[in-house]
Structure 1
Amino acid sequence: MRTFSILLGTTTVLSMIAPPLSAATPHKTNAHTPDKTQVAATPKKSRLSSLQSKKGETLSVVVRRISHGTQTTVSQSLIAQGIPGANPMKALGLAPGIMFNSNDSMGIDNYAAQIYMHGFQQQEIGMTLDDMPLGEMTYRNYNGLNPLQAISSENIARIDVSQSAGAESIAATNNLGGSFEYVSIDPKDKMGGTVAQSFGSNSAFHTFIRLDSGKLNKTGTKFFASYSRSDQGFWGNGGGNLFLQQVNAKLVQPIGNDSKITAYFDWSDLHEYSRQDYSFDMLDKLGYTSSNYYNGKASGYYAAYKAAEGIYPAGYNRLKDPADASVYDAGTNVVDYFGGIKADLKLTDRLRWITTAYGHGEDSQTTWSSPFFPSPNGAPMSEVVKEPAIERFGILSALHYNVARNQIGAGVWYENDSYQSAMNAYEQPAIVNGVLTGSLRSGVSKWSDPFARIFNQDYNTNSFTAFVQDTYSPVKNLYLHFGFKSILDTSRVGNGYINPAYYGNVGAIASGDSLTVAKPFLPHISANWKFLKNHELFFDISESVHTYAESGYKLSSSPFAVLQSSFNASRNNIHPETAWTYAVGYRYNSPMISGTVYAYRTNFENRLQQITSGSLINPQSVVANVGGVTMNGVDAGLTIRPIKGLEIYNTISYNHATYDNNITSGQVTYGTQGVQVVNFPRFMYKSRMSYQWRNASVYIDASYIGERNFSYTGDVKVPGYWITNLGAQYKITDFGKGSRFSNFVQDIVFSLNVNNLTNTKYISTMGEAGNPMSIASGAMTYQGFELGAPRMYYGGVKMDF
């Protein structure tokens, strides 16, 4: 791939330099604290520990950089306490105001893994790794990659979370609801490494190997390289597995005393079968463990074949839509190459210049066996494969200057993104006289030679942002911040094709058109005041924008993912989504007690949604602005440390996020005004108790996720649920003492984790396939949620040397 070649070449050059679901039936009814002695890139830290010990912080509130205000930081020590190799966003889910859900206990199914923050879904949260943009976290990402595929969890130093108020310096054009900034670890100064192996329920295993070179010469050149591999079978009925392997490498070349050049590279290979989306009708009639027909054997294909012919297994004939309930298989096959080079240079005692160049290439195939599109060989179904591909490159550059009582920063970001969204159909083998006429193919294999093109659009996007900021300290312990961001983003779509044999004679798809988002002034204002001892007050105000999404036909609320006629009708009236956020807070920290209160209001405007309008006989599907959302919320947290080694952590979150307008679709007006937003609860409670004694530690955490709206009108709700997890670790620090191993092995850590300790049955991910409007529009049969994993056990051992 062109992008991979660029990355490989640049890296080579640099190296030369140096409640239970049985009852879950639906209900009808920042502030800135700069360092005066350093430039803005590395200011002084001010922390409120929520989960910490003398041996390392886990979750804390941090003021880390003047451009980002008050942040919640999740460190490697907290991530390492969870299931080995699990999605680090599971640790993020411990923070107040954040909800993480998945259908597997490790959270590595990138279709079902879902995170919300203060009512905003993952597509509306900016994400970066070492300042490099990761784009929108969405299935079939069009301008980036899932953080899980960008870095192994063991290589994360920390994740900085900016909640509610935005950050003008972040390389993102979608951060309506804040940002997640991943920071990779640096190679160790001393040669060594890590080897870890874990096993778990449903044939799960995770392997991680990392080698640190240590300092190779007098200039301090050092690097690490790692390999990780995870595999986990499906719980419940059916077959399939979740597989991810990954290579990470990082090189650091110091320059003088306070400058350096770093290079980072990532290769990931993800092959995953997907569980089917559930409906309430399926949950009621098929139970909790239904799955697709795939089981790794011919019998699964025979069952799917008969179902495609209208002969269903027992129980399916009671469903209102048995053909959609289960298919043969569905899968994801994604390969990513991602990386970049950063120069962090101290030009003078007051001036620092940071520049990052990066590239990313992705090939992807997401599949499902369609019983509605037969193969030419006579089989009643075919494999429909969406084949998105990404090639993007970009550069970020910023200057930070300290003068008098000011910390001044200014920077730019440019990215070019090429995205192809092709969808094709491939033959499945026919069955003649009970015998397969061809070999079975895996849903996660590489498909080639389609018998039909179904859909295509090619996108090209140029994004440019710039920011200016200043933090001023008029008196001791008072910091005032002002900055703004400018965005210019243009997307052009071409090579449009739509197959009438699949979609019907609907007309042409949008092609040969473009849309531009231009926002020259997006302000960010904040203040932080430290008063008395251990007390702080802060406020934060910002405006942010979400540029237009891109995807295939009807796959999202992208204004391009419509017919040409619909695009022409909406292009002069459509506007990008924007949000104003106002936040105020207080925090207190002492050796025994830490507490925080954080209140916010967000006015989310120009929300985009796919709706139906026009005649009932000839309806027209369009993407249009349907109004706004008003969010008012508060998070409160308290941590007490009554005795040495014991911490008890509690948070409560309340989010009143309601639609401002009703929605009219297909000449029907739905009463959404004043209704809580879909998929996100109004109330959440989280608690965690941890105890550390010498080299042993144990924790138990419990979270309550409140009732959520499944339909936009709120007449179908998903009940709240409790989920509890347990973990324990024991470290041997003197392994091989007095023997030849004492100079080789440093630590050995044994771990045990139990996910969903109480074996709760619950609905986890929601809206991954969209949400229905109401019961009248078919909400009870709409397949739009995933079920949570049952109780699972994991054990592992890690050795540092």
Structure 2
Amino acid sequence: MKRKSHSVSARGPEVISVHAAGEDGAYGKVRHIAGGGLMAVQTGGDMRSTVTSEYINKQASTTTAYQAVSLAPGANLSQSDPYGFAANSMLSVRGLGGNEIGQVWEGMPVNDIETYNGYPTYWADGEDIDSVSLTQGSSSITAPVVNASGGQVTTLMRDPSHKMGGLVDYSYGTLNLQRFFGRFDTGDIGNTGLSAYVSFSNGTAKNSLGPGRQMRRHIDFGFKKEFANGDRMKLVGSYVDMNYMYNPNPTLADWQTSGRSYAWNGTFTPGSSDYWRQNRWKWEQIMMSLPSDFTLPGKVKLNVTPYFLYAMQNSPASSTLSSDGNYYGTEPVSVTIPDAQASGGSVRSDYVGVQSVGGFNASLSRQFGVQKVTLGYWYQYSVDDLSMPFSSVDASGNPASAWSLRNVTMSNGQPYLAEKEHTVTQTNALYLQDEISLLNDRLKIVGGIKTLMMSKAGTNGLPGTQYHVGANNFQPLPRVSATYKIDSHNQVFINASTNTLMPIDDTLYNSYSGGAISTQGNPGIKPEYSISEELGYRYQDRIIHASLALFNYNFTNRQVSSLRYVNNVPVYSTINGGGQTSRGVDFEAGLMPFHGFSPYVSVEYLHATIDNNIQVGNDYLPTAGKTAVRSPSFQGSFGLVYDYKNFFGTFSFKYTGSQYSTFMNDEKMPAYKTFNLSLGYRLPSVGFVKHPEIRVAFINLTDEKVLSGIASPQLNAQTTRGIYGTSIDGSSPGYYIAPRFTTAMTVAAGF
């Protein structure tokens, strides 16, 4: 068996994979990696889990980056759609929400610029992903992220093949899943050093919870230029067009009463506000990244990644509206509603967003003997336009378009809007890192500092007391790590890092109801700041890989992602959770293939507590000492991969302990477990058809009827007396319903 080191530069974390003579499959050569692709070798100074295409390509063809890393220690995936078509999902890590997880795709940030959440179904098809890495609790200093208190997810795409060829697969399954994927590789184009690929997929399926269908069309492409001196440029792009159902998030009482039948209504009643066709979301997005590495005079290395993203969305909900008694901000207005008599006043509340993001991340590095110095700069300019117009529906409750019609108008002919916000965000970051290797590279010490500067400037277009808004955040973010290689198999590591997170855009703006302010915008909300430490140990040889990490976090102004509802539209918001302390242990281990079998196991113990009482009005809830929300004390996973000659398959089990959904700990989500299975067989090549295979994936194998996560945590569920005697009303948290049992068969072949 031969070991080969492959280092990934600033575009992603360092990953060292073990390569050996593997079986050829429709998706290419199958590398032999611990845990069957669930645990690639790591050498860095932090806890990190990397899942490779060897595992991803044995799952359902619809697998997303979040689903790929869902077995990693500390990872908790909340979703309702088994095929990942719908974007209403969330990955939390060590009890920290999706808004605190930095997302990097081929060197560019892909967190939503308004909410900081990540939506991996937009980024890539599973067939084109080479690896997904989850760094628990920290991020690379060179990473272009502003929200990595909970860690970093790094998605790397495959390189174009050096040989001309391609791949075709087709999937059919439960919920009438039908999906086609095709990819073509040009191979090396003459002696130019150029190669490229382009892929296309089209998938549809019924909604897993109630009426409706999901639709997703996607294109990935990559162009790579390799130079004789080892320099390289890689243009990577992705386009997605989606139309999907956003399923409602039940309260605990709703779940106990209705179970999986808690869904939108399949038939329309005039005057109703729960019809499924009015809750169908639309999203189009294109993004491109150009990660490049160059060698400059004086042995200086330049890494530069320019990038661009443009997205359009309509995230609507069903609602009702009358012609009179309305307010445009603080001004009373009457409105004209087409087909109002036929629809009984039912309308669709649209939530329209247009985002454009452009930026670059560049760094210079040079080796000075045992010392390597890196100096970098990241700049990003983003514009976020949000509005809430209304669209009429016909007598059957159907809107005429997935995009907003904007045809509910005021007397002046202008669209009637419930919200109108325009936000420009500029991000500047300077970073300096010094890496020293001592004792014949056995001891490596890395220290650095990133100075992050963010400014937000916006306008509230509704009449009222607020127009211009703005907020700024300047934070120096030092960090240090050290690794010591005891011998060729044993390594210890330690790190300390700092992170920050600005409140989301929604917190800046006033919201209005009945002509009065219903939610007061507050540009003065303090940003989250965290200090984290890890102490870890790794063992890696030709048989077993294992990692153990003890971690500690201290937060001030913890920003907890939640939801609020405006005209029934779920709008992301944040709750300032004050101070928090989190401590715990992560462990994972995987075996190299033995007679085709590669087992994997991961566990986490977490103790997360709130440090102070939380202010509500002029009083405080007695939350000090309570357990933090979304923080199960124990979770564990087991995976087993089999791959020998023609047969292959995977089995996985995940247990997640109970977790509180309120800061007062007066409501919790029960513990749950899920099982998944996949089985496959590789057929002989026939003519130009290379390595055809067939596989069947079983999702939620035992059809566990459970909740999978907390969509909207609340301060308190029950009416609670504050420490000064005030009666503080409670609000019910909302939850994600776990996907039902589904199965998908995929037939694939290369050419």
CA distance in 2: counterparts of 1:145 and 1:369, whole angstroms: 25
Aligned amino acid, residue 501 of structure 2 = H
The alpha-carbon distance between structure 1 residues 785 and 687, as it changes in their structure 2 partners (threshold 3 A), is same
Shift of 1:640: 4.6
Q: Which residue of 2 aligns with 1:8?
A: none
- Secondary structure in 2 matching 1:90: helix
Query: Residue 684 of structure 1 aligns to a residue in which SS?
Result: strand
- The C-alpha deviation readout for 1:406-463, integer Å capped at 9, x for no partner, is 1221111111111111111122235xxxxx6xx8326745534343211101001111
Aligned mate of 1:754, from 679, 698, 706: 698
User: Which residue in the other structure is 1:211 paired with?
Assistant: 184
Shift of residue 570, structure 1, vs aligned partner: 4.9
2:149 is the alignment partner of 1:176: yes
* Alignment pair present for 1:791 and 2:735: no
Q: Which amino acid aligns with 1:758?
A: T
C-alpha displacement of 1:60? 2.1
User: In structure 2, what is the Cα distance between the partners aligned to 1:275 and 1:39?
Assistant: 40
Paired residue type of 2:285: D
Aligned partners of 1:762, 1:208: CA distance in 2, in Å? 32
Q: CA RMSD in A?
A: 3.1
The answer to whether the 8 Å contact 1:629/1:659 transfers is yes
Distance 1:61 1:775, change over 3 A: farther
Per-residue CA distance 1:618-662 (angstroms, 9 max, x = gap): xxxx98855211100111223356942222222210111111112
Quote the offset at 1:344 in angstroms. Answer: 1.6
Question: Are 2:264 and 1:282 aligned?
Answer: no
Q: Distance in 1 between matches of 2:705 and 2:214?
A: 21
What residue number does 1:15 align with? none
Q: Which residue of 2 aligns with 1:12?
A: none
Q: Are 2:288 and 1:339 aligned?
A: yes
Q: Is the 8 A contact 1:39 1:400 kept in 2?
A: no
State the match for 2:101 in structure 1: 125
Residue type of the partner of 2:689?
A: V
Give the corresponding residue for 1:396. 361
Verify the 8 A CA contact 1:40 1:400 in the aligned structure 2: no
The residue type paired with residue 106 of structure 1 is Y
Cα gap change, 1:210 to 1:462, in 2 (>3 Å): same
CA–CA separation in structure 1 for the residues paired with 2:14 and 2:666: 50
Aligned identity (percent) is 20
Query: Bigger CA drift: 639-648 or 682-691?
Result: 639-648
Q: Is the 8 A contact 2:391 2:399 kept in 1?
A: no
Distance 1:395 1:39 in 2: 15
Asked whether 1:301 is paired with 2:268, we answer yes
Describe the superposition over 1:37-72 as per-residue Cα deviations: whole angstroms up to 9, x where unpaired.
9998899855699xx9984321225447x7x74532
Closer, same or farther in 2 for the Cα pair 1:443/1:689, shift >3 Å?
Answer: farther
- Structure 2 counterpart of 1:181, which letter? T
Aligned-partner SS, 2:256: helix
Distance 2:680 2:714 in 1: 41
State which of 447, 458, 461 in structure 1 corresponds to 2:425: 461
Measure how far apart 1:568 and its partner are: 8.8
Q: Separation in 1 of the partners of 2:212 and 2:717?
A: 33
**Alpha-carbon shift at residue 668 of structure 1 (Å):** 5.2
Rounded to whole Å, the distance in 1 between the matches of 2:8 and 2:134 is: 23
Corresponding residue for residue 215 of structure 2:
243
Distance in 2, Cα, partners of 1:45 & 1:495: 45
Counterpart residue number, 2:69: 92
Answer yes or no: is the 8 Å Cα contact 2:46–2:534 preserved in 1.
no
AA in 1 matched with 2:708: S
Within-5 A mapping of 1:516-527:
516-519=472-475, 521-527=476-482
2:38 is the alignment partner of 1:59: yes
Match of 1:24 in 2: none
SS in 2 for 1:288: helix
CA-CA distance at 1:116 after TM superposition: 0.5
1:574-653 matches, within 5 Å, as 574-608=525-559, 625-640=576-591, 643-653=594-604
Q: Is the 8 A contact 1:128 1:171 kept in 2?
A: yes
Q: Secondary structure at the match of 2:290?
A: strand
- Separation of aligned partners in 2, 1:449 and 1:580: 50
TM alignment of 1:19-38, pairs within 5 A: none
Distance 1:306 1:361 in 2: 36
Moved more, 712-721 or 775-784: 775-784
Instruction: Quickly say closer, same or farther: Cα 1:156–1:164, change in 2 above 3 A.
Output: same
Amino acid at match of 2:308: G
Q: Does the CA contact (< 8 Å) of 1:155 and 1:185 recur in 2?
A: yes
Aligned AA (2:188): K
Tell me which of 491, 496, 518 is aligned to 1:536. Answer: 491
Q: For residue 523 of structure 1, what is the amino acid of its counterpart? A: P
Partner amino acid for 2:268? Y
Question: What CA distance in whole angstroms lies between the structure 2 residues aligned with 1:122 and 1:610?
Answer: 8
Residue 363 of structure 1 corresponds to: 312
State the match for 2:371 in structure 1: 406
Work out whether residues 629 and 660 of structure 2, in 8 Å CA contact, stay in contact via their aligned partners in 1.
Answer: yes
| TM-score with structure 2 setting the length | 0.86
Counterpart of 1:72, as a letter, is S
How do 1:367-446 residues align onto structure 2 when only pairs under 5 Å count? 367-371=316-320, 376=337, 377-378=340-341, 379-430=344-395, 440-441=398-399, 444-445=402-403
**Aligned counterpart, 2:332:** none
Deviation at 1:190, TM superposition (A): 0.7
- Aligned in 2, Cα 1:540/1:783: closer, same or farther, shift over 3 Å? closer
2:96 counterpart letter in structure 1: F
Query: CA offset at residue 594 of structure 1?
Result: 2.8
For residue 104 of structure 1, what is the aligned residue in structure 2? Answer: 81
Aligned length: 693
Cα displacement (A) at 1:731:
1.5
| Paired residue type of 1:467 | Y
- Map 1:499-518; keep pairs closer than 5 Å: 508=465, 510-518=466-474
What code does the residue aligned with 1:695 have? N
Structure 1 residue 401: deviation in Å? 1.2
Contact kept in structure 1, 2:352 and 2:388, CA below 8 Å: yes
In structure 2, do the counterparts of structure 1 residues 372 and 709 end up closer, same or farther at CA, with 3 Å as the change threshold? farther
Local SS of the residue matching 1:473: strand
Equivalent position SS for 1:202: helix
Corresponding position of 2:301: 352
After superposition, the C-alpha distances for 1:728-766 in whole angstroms (9 at most, x for unaligned) are 12122x322xxxx1xx22211211110111111000131
Cα deviation per residue 1:177-234 (whole Å; 9 max; x = unaligned)? 1111111111111110110101110111221111101111212211111101121102
- Runs of 5+ consecutive residues of structure 2 not aligned to the other structure: 24-29, 324-335, 410-415, 563-572, 721-727
Any stretches of 5+ residues in structure 1 without a counterpart?
Answer: 1-34, 309-324, 431-435, 499-506, 552-557, 612-621
Aligned counterparts of 2:352 and 2:7: Cα–Cα separation in 1: 51
